[in-house]
Amino acid sequence: MWDYSKTVQEHFLHPHNAGPMDDANAVGEVGSLACGDALRLYLKVSDKGVIEKASFETFGCASAIASSSMLTDMITGMQVDEALKLTNKDIVARLGGLPREKMHCSVMGEEALEAAIRNWKGEPPVPHAQEIGKLVCKCFGVTDAQIIRVIRENDLKTLEDVISYTKAGGSCGECQDEIAEILDAELKNRAEQKKIA
Residue 35 annotated among the catalytic residues of the structure: yes
Question: For residue 55, with 0-12 CB atoms within 10 Å meaning exposed, 13-18 middle and 19 or more buried, which class applies?
Answer: buried
| Catalytic-labelled residue, pool 105, 139, 172, 175 | 105
Q: How many whole angstroms separate alpha carbon 188 and alpha carbon 88?
A: 24
Which residues are identified as catalytic?
35, 105
